[in-house]
A and B are shown apart, each in its own frame.
Chain A
């Protein structure tokens, strides 16, 4: 009888086994439907186009041009004063240890994406498209590396020898699988600059201006080149590329009558390159540039409170703006009109910057100019000064002055001329993310309240993320951290 049972059981066993095992591996091979395999993602032109957009998308991050690269240089330097209305940027204003830029992660993600796009270019047969993709990817890679260099490394020529630990890791190949992971050391400052020069050389040659200022273009590549050369104390090239950029467009140097209007247009006419934001990409009430800089939502309307207004112009910046007065004691500088009294909605009313003011039609939604035409005049003035061409330098600084409603200066020379160039640079580019870098690249102390940061202080460089140091034995942290 026992055998009978056994027979019964063995009769069922194959059925049970069949039900399950016949299906097995195919059945369990489930693919996601809202993402695609990285092994084939970049095999088509559409894929590469989407991957290129993915690099621009990274620039929108609050850690890059969404906020930090514009606001933190003002907070760390003598241009900004934190109001502590939300508490944000207070630590940066106080130059607390570690309160600094944090663009490392996003920038390197974007660099990997650029490297992957560049490696996939052979999949594109059309030469013009391939050139454009190459130019855009290289412009973006140059911009990303340049921003990493000026935040994490000493600028060429002003290294503090005892503290100097070189540039940043230089990766020019893409990573998609675990076996491609690299543990690079920091490249030398010169090597990273060499790579940036190479990328910008290709980009400025291969790009055109057809896609406008929201994308990498020829003028933007030349303009960035002028800035990079200025930081590199390569003054001849800075002058050369500033001139070429102004000739190339798409940016144009605004005149006095249209200057303020430029700041109210959703697309700044002075922009060579601007990071654009669509409505759903609004960074919102916590970290957008509008909320960071102002409590206002409409010019002159102090009854409605929008953002926090965490960072406002320092007394010394306002003094610089107010320095030159007319016969009726009125402030001459029209740029002063980009600052006005905010609301009491978050506490004491402060004079606030309105350069970012929901220009795209919604509160907290602003395109962010990365390089403006005015900067080319200032780059060229400074570079010419150091080349000993003071006359050319004065002409450019006067272009900025007269445009701002100030009288042209004559017979300005030597240190006075340099100081005027730097003063105009400070005022013109205030609240646009330049001041900290302009002080740092010249190796000068940052004189500010509440505490001055001497140039030899380790806080001049940002802290490389601790996680990055612990996971990469070849990488050295900046001194002091």
Chain B
């Protein structure tokens, strides 16, 4: 090594005298994009080994002969050759290179590759594509932008939970979330707040993101071994650029509005419907019963006088409870960032404040973030990188449960269901229907306005995610990089039930507090080697070792009985009810390596492997090995295609490999006794888990075939990938007969196959006279198929003897995951108004049997999704329009089920259901006659089976982003470098057959009941750079 170094110096010394006779040329290199100086551009005298690079201001100085030519090259830009022609100053503007192949993509463990070298399947989203979207976590912004990546918001709460599925769902019982890595730090993506809908990714201001890479196949992801089966999302935040310090101010103001109100009954319609329901039920067994009797009963059941006349009833007012909770809101965002530095030290600093309401009263999100990214070259060999992201978030949550549910006082659930007879306020302006006065009439007897105004439901999350690394360039080809990172998150939640509300009145107020802390520590060391031999053999090697420890601890308290409603903390409570404390954690260690060989710029071979251990796995299976192999062939560089005017890029990729899923819980293999089974104030315990020392990770075997293409001067570029993801050794809880005292034993036995195709295309449709129009479209089709469950399952008693996971008919062999297995609704008997269903033989029945008459009616996992972006730019104006779509998902409209009871219970109903109800013999409709209790004698509930199953497919005009960059000349006059005015509209229009608020929601147990719908948001903003 020393020999090598001295040799290098010798070379420099020897060449120096020869240069002395040449002219000194100076100049500045700038970017064609925005005219900013480009530091680090290589400047070389053609035909010699002489070269230099530009400094932080883009300036260079080089000695060259008068007639020499200079070659300027820089990653991401087209190389340019300029003749000196006797000049002493040569300024150059480099054209940014947007061709597919030179784009740089971030890969695992801090590597970067040009697209040319990639053998796996990686989707990249640039930070600039999602800039200024009024969203709180970047995952929502990925929706419709990356093939193979399906995003569903759990609800419309800002900063709320989001589900990300990469290439389908490959697990039945274990986790299906991808691994998130922010600047090398593997995040703990548990949701920690008990009282608000949270998203572990919302700590990061999306505008601080430089790029997001989604690693989709085994070739790309298997370097992360047992954590990579669900894909990996790599987030890289912005870095400083050497040069003049640049300041950026950015602010927007947002208007949030509900996407929809449902059309529900007025007081008169409701009374009519309920009267019919009561009459129909009672008259079925008591022929003497009259409609008048039913009407009197109904009136008194909602505390109206049974003596009311027709005209008095007609004069009764109707109260709109929906608008009490679901309503418009506001949002605002302020950001300041600066970046700059010298050739030794660069920095990026940003601070931001974001505040946004949900379209539900008193549900909102506030966040402050601060980011510092520093790079410092200690010397020629050693560079230090430091990144730190601090954030504090406060959210106010909805009544009941963070992600919705059938809670009586929850405005999102109860609003459209409260009987419209109930006033909102008393004549004196106080809340109507306080518990002290008996509540509202009907099952939903809480006044949601009062409940939300009096209660206090919130959570604060403080997090720090950061890392420190040293890059030690041992030689020009060999780098050693030790890295330490931390992901710390603290969540403090409180749920205060006011003693004046129904939940608090009988206990005189209740306070619940939560404290939850995640400390996730990661360290690794990687060694990187790269060298080209004989200018055609390029060899790269990465090897590393890693350790991660993750601990989650928390405490909770619940106390009741507060002196007055002004006392809102547990210190003032007379009755401590419950306290809790928990601890859980896991540890991992691993060795990993990646060997790359590239020949002649055309053939690339990659071998990847990771030896991964985890405390989660059973004693007998502590370590697993996850290998992958991948290759690519750049056909367009072959002589027969090179220089073709039509085909610019053509690259074939193939990969095969194995990844693991370790999201099986922290202690799934141990036999356990747990506490919490006390009696009469004495501690108790009970066995809760059978032991299983063989338990291990789930394994995914992924095959990917891809083709990247670029035609007509790369005006048409894109990629097609076909893949198969075979998920095996799936964790299944094999049922144990309850008589043994346990319900199940965990085993690695299941198998699911996902097969799919992804297609991405970008076209430049028009580019002339400064007007540019381009289109990007992506499409994914992926379908799962359950191929294996455990042995010995008794088939369901159906004609085709389906084999389902016991107790879970959403998993049936031969069908996709998320299968909907239910009875098929056959409409209404025109003679009697009774709901009918089909039995196993296709005949009509009034009481379909479970499971004999049940059939597979679809799946709740979408099969087809993607997005379409059209971008226009002209003279400083730019316009981006994104449509996003999702097909193939069916869901029960559970809130719609309540709203379709038609007087079966004391709920309000959809007008549409009321208008189409069966009323007299001969009526042809699919809505049964109103019937108290919903079930006719010897019949199933009218809401049984597919009656409430709906198609949740949708196409959404997701985003319109319109901006105007004030001309540079004008901007200069007001002393700014860059000024941009912008306006956005998000979730503008949705086309869907779904009859509820919105088809996008996650069924987290209560379906869409009480789920805060996504909101439509408009923003206007201003961005200034100086």
Q: Are A34 and B583 in contact (CB under 8 A)?
A: yes
Q: Is the CB of B737 within 8 A of A472?
A: yes
Interface: B13 (CB within 8 A): no
Task: State whether the Cβ of B674 lies closer than 8 Å to any Cβ in chain A.
Answer: yes
Given contacts A8-B1, A56-B680, A178-B690, contact A30 B586 (CB under 8 A): yes
- Asked if A112 lies at the interface with its beta carbon under 8 angstroms from chain B, I say yes
B697 → A minimal CB distance (Å)? 13
Complex formed: what's the CA distance from A31 to B619 in Å?
A: 12
What chain A residues lie within 8 Å of B685 (beta carbons)? Answer: 36, 41, 47, 50-51, 53-54
Q: A30-B615, A178-B691, A472-B737 are in contact. Are A4 and B1 (CB under 8 A)?
A: yes
In the bound complex, residues from chain B placing their C-beta under 8 Å from that of A38 are 671-673, 687, 689, 691
A30-B585, A87-B905 known; A108-B300 Cβ under 8 A: no
Given contacts A38-B672, A279-B575, A305-B435, contact A111 B679 (CB under 8 A): no
Known: A56-B684, A108-B739, A171-B740. A279 touches B577 (CB 8 A): yes
Contact indicator B438/A37 (Cβ below 8 Å): no
A38 and B670 CA atoms in complex are apart in Å by 8
**Contact between chains at A57 and B678 (CB < 8 Å):** yes
Which stretch (B92-100, B451-459, B473-481, B563-571) binds chain A? Answer: B473-481
Which of B331-339, B538-546, B753-761, B864-872 faces chain A? B538-546
CB distance from A19 to the nearest CB of B (A): 5
Contact check, B687 vs A112: say whether CB atoms are below 8 A apart.
yes
With A8-B1, A467-B806 in contact, do A182 and B677 touch (Cβ < 8 Å)?
no
Closest-by-CB residue of A relative to B796 is A470
Contact flag A84-B684 (CB < 8 Å), given A19-B547, A27-B587, A30-B586:
no
A423 to B578, CA, bound (A): 44
Contacts of A41 in B (CB 8 A): 673, 685, 687
Which stretch in B49-57, B642-650, B930-938 binds the other chain?
A: B930-938
Nearest A residue (CB) for B2? A4
Q: Is A470 a contact partner of B794 (Cβ separation < 8 A)?
A: yes
Asked if A177 and B690 sit within 8 Å, CB to CB, the answer is yes
CA distance A343 to B108 in the complex (A): 66
Residue B595 lies at the interface, judged by CB distance under 8 Å to chain A: no
Q: Is A415 at the interface (CB under 8 A from chain B)?
A: no
Nearest residue, chain A, Cβ from B906: A347
Chain B residue, CB-CB nearest to A361: B575
B356 within 8 A of A: no
B678 touches A16 (CB 8 A): no
Map CB proximity to B onto A7-34 as digits: 1 under 8 Å, 0 otherwise.
0110011011101110111011111111
- Residue of B whose beta carbon sits closest to that of A349: B300
CA distance A181 to B743 in the complex (A): 11
For residue A475, which residues in chain B have a CB less than 8 angstroms away from its CB?
Answer: 737
Chain A residues in 8 Å Cβ range of B543: 13, 16
Are A362 and B507 neighbours in the complex by a CB distance under 8 Å? yes
The complex places the Cα of A58 from the Cα of B678 at a distance, in Å, of 9
Which residues of B are found within 8 Å of A242, using beta-carbon distances?
A: none
Q: For the complex, what is the distance from the CA of A13 to the CA of B545, rounded to whole Å?
A: 10
Chain B: minimal CB distance from A294 (Å): 13
A413 in contact (CB, < 8 A): no
B527 at the interface (CB under 8 A from A): yes
Kindly state the separation between the CA atoms of A35 and B506 in the bound complex, as whole angstroms: 34
| Closest chain B residue, CB of each to CB of A175 | B740
Distance between Cα atoms of A27 and B67 in the complex (Å) = 67
B666 part of interface (Cβ distance < 8 Å): yes
Contact residues, A132-166 vs B (CB, 8 A): none
A181 touching B683 in the complex, CB below 8 Å, given contacts A23-B589, A280-B578, A467-B806: no
Residues of A within 8 A of B445 (CB): 305, 345-346
Q: Mark B331-362, 1 if CB is under 8 A from A, else 0.
A: 00000000000000000000000000000000
Partner of B615 from the list A28, A33, A177 (CB cut-off 8 Å) is A28
The answer to whether A347 and B686 touch across the interface, beta carbons within 8 angstroms, is no
A351 to chain B, nearest CB (A): 16
Partner of A305, one of B439, B590, B691: B439
User: Which residue in A47, A183, A278 is a CB contact (below 8 Å) of B680?
Assistant: A278
Q: Are B738 and A28 in contact (CB under 8 A)?
A: no
A107-130: which residues lie under 8 A (CB-CB) from chain B? 108-109, 111-113, 115-116
Task: Give the CA-CA distance A343 to B932 in the complex, in Å.
Answer: 20
Q: Majority SS of interface residues in chain B?
A: mixed
Q: Does A104 contact B (CB under 8 A)?
A: yes
A348 touches B475 (CB 8 A): no
Are B736 and A181 neighbours in the complex by a CB distance under 8 Å? yes
Minimum CB–CB distance for B269 against chain A, Å: 19
User: Is the beta-carbon distance between A450 and B686 smaller than 8 angstroms?
Assistant: no
A297 with B587, Cβ < 8 A, contacts A12-B527, A50-B683, A53-B682 known = no
Contact A51 B686 (CB under 8 A): yes
Interface size class of A (residues with CB under 8 A): 35 or more
- Select from chain A the residue with minimum beta-carbon distance to B740: A175
**B527, B545, B588, B806: the one within 8 Å of A470 (CB):** B806
The answer to whether B686 and A113 touch across the interface, beta carbons within 8 angstroms, is yes
B688 at interface (Cβ–Cβ under 8 A)?
yes
CA distance A9 to B527 in the complex (A): 8
- Given the interface contacts A35-B688, A346-B445, A348-B297, does A30 sit within 8 Å of B674 by beta carbon? no
Contact with A345, one of B297, B438, B590, B935 (Cβ below 8 angstroms) = B438
B807: CB under 8 A from chain A? yes
Chain B 530-561 interface residues, beta-carbon cutoff 8 Å to A = 531, 541, 543-547, 558
Question: Are B739 and A33 within 8 A (Cβ)?
Answer: no
A41-B442 Cα distance, complex, nearest whole Å: 50
Do B686 and A468 touch (CB < 8 A)?
A: no
Question: Is B684 a contact of A53 with CB atoms below 8 Å?
Answer: yes
Q: Mark A288-315, 1 if CB is under 8 A from B, else 0.
A: 0000000001000001111000000000
The answer to whether the Cβ of B735 comes within 8 Å of any Cβ in the partner chain is: yes
Cα–Cα, bound, A279→B764 (Å):
69
Given the known A-B contacts A9-B478, A20-B589, A20-B590, are A35 and B672 also in contact in the complex, defined by CB atoms under 8 Å? yes
How many angstroms between the C-alpha atoms of A35 and B668 in the bound complex? 12
Q: Which of A92-113 contact B (CB under 8 A)?
A: 94, 96-97, 104-105, 108-109, 111-113
Cα separation A84 to B531 with both chains bound (whole Å): 78
- Inter-chain CA distance A413–B4, complex, in Å, is 119
Is B964 close to A, CB under 8 A?
no
Tell me the complex Cα distance, A12–B436, Å.
75
Distance of A115 from chain B, by nearest CB (Å): 8
Tell me, in angstroms, the Cα distance from A51 to B682 when the chains sit together. 11
Tell me which residues across on chain B come within 8 A of A363, comparing CB atoms.
506-507
Quick one: closest A residue to B443, CB to CB? A86
List A contacts of B614 (CB < 8 A).
Answer: 28
B311 at the interface (CB under 8 A from A): no
- The CA of A367 and the CA of B691, in the complex, are separated in Å by 36
Q: Is the CB of B740 within 8 A of A182?
A: yes
Q: State the CA gap A32–B285 with chains docked (Å).
A: 59
From residue B504, how far is it (CB to closest CB) to chain A in Å?
12
B437 at the interface (CB under 8 A from A): yes
Please, which residues of chain A bring their CB within 8 A of the CB of B585?
Answer: 30
Q: With A and B bound together, what is the CA distance between A52 and B682 in angstroms?
A: 10
**Residues in B whose Cβ lies below 8 Å from that of A19:** 525, 545, 547
B854 to chain A, nearest CB (A): 12
Question: In the complex, given contacts A51-B685, A468-B739, what are 17 additional A-B residue pairs having Cβ atoms less than 8 angstroms apart?
Answer: A12-B527, A16-B543, A17-B591, A27-B587, A30-B615, A35-B689, A36-B672, A37-B672, A53-B682, A54-B677, A57-B684, A57-B686, A111-B741, A182-B737, A278-B678, A348-B301, A471-B806
Listed A/B pairs (22) with beta-carbon separation below 8 Å:
A8-B478, A12-B480, A16-B591, A20-B591, A30-B615, A32-B667, A33-B583, A38-B691, A41-B687, A47-B673, A47-B685, A51-B686, A60-B679, A87-B905, A108-B740, A177-B690, A178-B690, A276-B679, A348-B300, A469-B794, A470-B735, A470-B793
Q: Which 10 A-B pairs have the closest CB atoms?
A: A112-B741, A53-B684, A38-B671, A56-B679, A54-B677, A54-B686, A30-B615, A41-B673, A470-B794, A54-B684
